[in-house]
Each structure stands twice: as structure tokens, then as C-alpha cells.
Amino acid sequence: MTQFPRQPNQRVLVAYASEFGSTAAVAAVIGQVIREAGVEVDVRSVVDVQHMSTYQAAVVGSAIYNGQWLPEAVHFVRHHAAELSLIPTAYFVVCATMSEASDERRRGAHSFVDAVLETGPAL
């Protein structure tokens, strides 16, 4: 497992959009893993994040509904694109696509993130 890079007083945001709670649960586990690495973490719904100024890194995720990120997650990425482009940012999705692991299904799951990155911050 890759060690999470630590900086003094580093705070990481794990922001998520969840339709039925599964994505919130995944975000909580991601937050716990980062916290166990000694980093301060806030795990929040994207609708509850007002600003990004206190974060040095972010993890953003969404449930996939009808083959797309939830609208509130897309809005979050667009609204905070400038800030996200200045800090290390990772994205994740929660969907049934990966219920069976295969190269084709991985490409399908990856395409959900690609669609958001096209409208989100420049990497």
C-alpha cells in the first residue's frame, strides 16, 4: 500500500455524493485509512462543503446513477475546479460496474471519472 504523503498540519477533504448511502460508507473508509496514516481528515457530503481553503488534498467521489456522476458531485467539481487544480486530488466512483472484475469493466468504471475530469479542473 502506498504511504499517504504527510505534511505538517495537513488536512484532507473526502467529499462524496451518495444516493442510498453506499458511497458515504466508502468515503468513511477512505477517510479512516487516511486518518490512520496520521493525517487530519474531514469526510463530508459535497453539498456540505462551503470552501476548500483549509485543505491540502482532496478525495472526491460519487455514486453512479444512469451511467453518470450524481449532479451535486459534478457541480462540486465544477464549482471548486480552481481550488482542486492546486492540490493533490483523487477521484472515486461507486457503481455495480465493478461487481465482476475484468479489463472491460475497469475501462467502464474509469470512463465515469473521465467524464467528470473533462469538465473539472485541469490536471
Containing structural domain, residue 102: 11-119
pLDDT at residue 119, rounded to an integer: 65
Kindly state the average pLDDT of the residues 9-29.
95
Burial pattern 23-49, b for ≥16 Cβ within 10 A else e, equals: bbebbeebbeebeebebebebbbbeeb
Q: How confident is the model at residue 2 (pLDDT cuts 50, 70, 90)?
A: very low
pLDDT value for 86: 93
- The residue among 118 and 59 whose pLDDT is bigger is 59
Rounded CA-CA distance 58/50 in Å is 14
Which pTM value belongs to this model?
Answer: 0.84
Digit-coded pLDDT (tens) for 54-107: 999 999 999 998 888 999 999 999 999 999 999 999 999 898 776 777 888 777
Please check whether residue 65 lies inside any domain of the structure.
yes
pLDDT band at 6 (very low <50, low <70, confident <90, very high): low
Q: What is the CATH number of the domain that holds 16?
A: 3.40.50.360
pLDDT, residue 101, reads 79
Domains in the chain: how many in total? 1
Q: Is residue 68 part of a domain?
A: yes
pLDDT at position 50 is: 92
Look at residue 1 and tell me if it is in a domain: no
Is-contact 23 30, C-beta < 8 A? no
Asked if the structure places residue 59 within a domain, the reply is yes
Q: Quick check: 1 pLDDT over 60? A: no
Residue 6 lies in a domain: no
Residue 4 lies in a domain: no
